Amino acid sequence: MLRLLYAIPTWILMFIINTITIIAGWIVVPIAAACKAYEAYDWHDGAGTPRVQYRWTWRWMWLWGNSEDGIANDSYKKIDSMFMKIIYWSCVRNPSNNLRMTPYVSFIIDPSKVGFIGSDPVNTSYANKPPRVEWFFAWHGIYSSFWIIFNYKGTLKRFWIGWKVYPNDQKGLSPGSYRNHGVGYCTQFKDA
């Protein structure tokens, strides 16, 4: 498959870029948080619910921000300390999150450019619960993604590498999708 000839080098290059920005984040995010280089602002989530978000006041920190959820979101883990909330959200949960909106290392989905091969010709099951054994290789120009769910000692595991392009992107993204602003790169290995 010709696409794998450029998929693997682009994954390696992006893995290096991603790793460097994540490591840099572990240096600059704590410094900016300790200096209180952030501000509160009013924001409405996708359902229109108002809430207070936080963003960096140092413009060069944009890469380590999160345009939808701010830099100190506690929707996954409740933390009282603002400093630790920022560290968790901006270094652990969403490191260098805005890299997914950076030109050349991310892209905007054009449904006509999405292609894929995989275990399911419709391949909508990645969103279904419970997960099942499956795989796909999807692409959008030079950006590609390999996703596999497999059984390992009785537990379903998921491995995902590449940009977050799905087979169903051929139908377009929903209006509320975070990927409308850019498709980022990921390397994940976890329970499905």
- List the pLDDT tens digit at each of the 192 positions of the chain: 678 788 999 999 999 999 999 999 999 999 999 999 999 998 876 667 788 899 999 999 999 999 888 999 887 888 999 999 999 999 999 999 999 999 999 999 999 999 999 887 655 555 656 788 889 999 999 999 999 999 999 999 999 999 999 998 998 998 878 889 999 999 999 888
H/E stretch holding 33 reads helix 2-34
Mapping DSSP onto H, E and C, the string for 97-166 reads HHHHHCECCEECCCHHHEEEEECCCCCCHHHCCCCCCEEEEEEECCEEEEEEEEEECCEEEEEEEEECCC
Domain boundary among 71, 101, 131: 101
Q: What is the pTM of this model?
A: 0.85
Domain identity same for 138 and 178: yes
Domain identity same for 178 and 122: yes
Domain boundary among 101, 127, 149: 101
Domain identity same for 122 and 153: yes
Rg (CA), the chain: 18
Give the CA count within 13 Å in the CB-facing half-sphere of 53: 18
Parallel, antiparallel, or unpaired: how do β-strands 143-152 and 114-118 relate? unpaired
Dist CA 104 CA 102 (whole Å): 7
| Number of domains comprising the chain | 2
H/E stretch holding 55 reads strand 50-56
Does residue 13 form part of some domain? no
Domain identity same for 31 and 75: yes
Angle 118-120-115 from CA coordinates, rounded to 5°? 45
Domain identity same for 168 and 128: yes
Note down the domain range covering 72: 22-101
What's the DSSP call for residue 183? B
Does residue 180 form part of some domain? yes
